Amino acid sequence: MITIDLTGKNVLITGGNSGIGKGIADLFLEAGAGVAIADIAFERKYTRISERLIHLKLDVTDRTSVSEAVRTAAESLGPITILVNSAGISTMDYAVDIKEEDWDRVMAVNAKGTYLVSQAVAHQMIDGKIEGRIINIASQAGKNGYRCMGNYCSSKHAVLGFTKVMAIELAAKRILVNAICPGIVETGMKHRERIDGAKLRKMTPEQIYEEDCSQVPLGRTANPSDVANVALFLASPLSSYMTGQAINVTGGMTMN
């Protein structure tokens, strides 16, 4: 049995206080990494939880906040060798009814946030000659279209495009850039989406859940741990010949 050991590696995880990001943070801690969880939900700018775990308040849409968080993470744990961009939000409405402020906010967090944090960490990796990893949490919504999620789908398509460009540009620096495309994952955000989607489509959240499960060939929706396992693989030496990839973790729902 192969055991992935990240001892000596330091990871910055945006949106790591809940959902998929928390699942990744928990697994990376188990694997021995130093972990900086950066999330807008934290009240304090910096909290040391243990020798290998710190919390940072981070607004991924703000360049100053990003610069401070990246610098503090490196000062507290050591150089960042792995970045996981997991911060993300969604709103729901039909495309013809999307409010401009909702469009701007979703694009700011999901697309601009990935750009700002990736850029800051990439500079640190290049300056430190670190052969690092950048792992972007995209979505199968970055490959497909889904009703009532026009802004979210657009933001995740942007994440995949940026992943491919960074992979090409950073390959010579031995910085690998890949994306994970989760399917339907049981998180607080997904539960809220079922409520909002049910109102828009004149259904019940339970009917939405049944519809979700019916679309997955494996017969169930995902847990954050299903995505975290793939993130751990991408952070490990086992993925050393992979970059610019968008890996589906969808139970077979998306196969392209």
Q: Look at residue 149 and give its three-state secondary structure.
A: strand
Can you spell out the DSSP letters for 28-90?
HHHTT-EEEEEETT-SSSEEEEETTEEEEE--TT-HHHHHHHHHHHHHHH-S--EEEE-----
Tell me, yes or no, if 241 is annotated catalytic.
no
Catalytic residue among 46, 94, 115, 152: 152
Write out 5-33 in H/E/C secondary structure: CCCCCEEEEECCCCHHHHHHHHHHHHCCC
The first and second tokens of residue 248, run together, are 């589906």
Can you spell out the DSSP letters for 156-179?
HHHHHHHHHHHHHHHGGGT-EEEE
Strands 53-57 and 176-182: unpaired
C-alpha 220: how far from chain center: 21
CA 249/CA 222 separation, integer angstroms: 8
Q: Look at residue 218 and give its three-state secondary structure.
A: coil
The residues that are catalytic are 152
